Amino acid sequence: MENKKVLLGMSGGVDSSVSALLLKEKGYEVIGTTLELFAGSSCCDMNPQLEAKNVCTQIGIPHFIYNCKAEFKKYVMDDFVDAYANCRTPNPCIECNRHMKFGFMWKKAQELGCDFIATGHYAKTEYSETYGRWVLKKSENVKKDQSYVLWNLPKELLNHVLFPLAEFETKEEIRQLARKSNLKVANKPDSEDICFVPDGNYKKFLEKHSEIRPKIGNIVNQKGKTLGQHNGLYHYTIGQRRGLGIANPVPLFVLGFDKEKNEIIVGEEKELYKDKITVIDINLLLVDKIEKEMEVEVKTRYSAKLAKARIWQEENSIKVVFDEPQRAITPGQSAVFYVGDVVLRGWKNMFVD
């Protein structure tokens, strides 16, 4: 008999709460869990924990809280700090998904005898006859699709992951289901902040939790001419315009950094556009190796539009040539590649050629 026991990650929000309802309706034996990630954050203070537990009590399923603050600090917070210390702009949600929700939580699921784990992400997993393997796909809700932040799921785990919200086209449908079941979280707003930076001030977080401190340096153009000064590289990101404090006939934008010289390199907006990148830290989901040049669509950050490109593999890196130049490609962000609505692969680090 198929093991239909599933461990569901619950944040106390409407998405994971409705996921619990849907899984139970489909006959799964559901266990809810909330991970304690970082004391005082919006993801793991007592209110979300209590809200998740109350939802589980209301619909009649058990709920467990696991303390994984040490793991979260190691894999997510320390990575966040290291990225900014090395002039990269990180996406901590991607690391959290990899190490916590689909790493730590999967281990707990196995300990509890579960064959599946589930979350309230907007994405889809299914077996593809075309590719002869389980694949990760976009959700039906295009505006809320979160396949971008799930690219580094281990491919051997895909057939053990359930996304109950995959088929819903709007968030309002989710809220209506919650209201119908009288869940108190039905109208709870979505969280937009990084969980361990609830006030959005990542600079203050870096100064408090690392040795990163303000350090005055020069702002230069691509020819090396000094145009102004900055108070710390971590205050800036590629594509940034505001806060440079430079009077110039044409607006200037951050193009890059020279960490050794403690310099910010700026230029005109047209200089932000690049048509070639190299990517490393590869996770191939759809194929084991890229044998020849492929045409794909690429997202270089979560909010970016899909862009058409050609790609080919060179040992441990992938070369990417876009059909049209892309704006403000940022090291530290992930590049995620799609064939239709299927995630082909993703990469953590990108370098402009």
Task: Supply the residues annotated as catalytic.
Answer: 96, 195
Q: Which helix (H) or strand (E) holds 177?
A: helix 171-180
Q: Are strands 63-67 and 116-118 parallel, antiparallel or unpaired?
A: unpaired
Which of 163, 118, 167, 120 minimizes the C-alpha distance to 141?
167
Q: What strands, in cross-sheet order, belong to the sheet with 263-267?
A: 226-230, 217-220, 263-267, 253-258
The encoded tokens of residue 144 equal 């809320």
> What is the per-residue burial (b if ≥16 Cβ within 10 Å, else e) of 45-81?
beebbebbbbbbeebebebeebebeebbbebbbebbb
The encoded tokens of residue 234 equal 């971590």
Task: Give, as one character, the DSSP assignment of residue 73.
Answer: I
Q: Which residue's entry shows tokens 């691509």?
A: 222
The encoded tokens of residue 317 equal 């890196």
Which of 283, 278, 290 minimizes the C-alpha distance to 347?
283
Which of 168, 66, 72, 153 minimizes the C-alpha distance to 118?
153
CA 258 – CA 224 distance, rounded (Å): 11
Q: Are strands 123-128 and 133-138 parallel, antiparallel or unpaired?
A: antiparallel
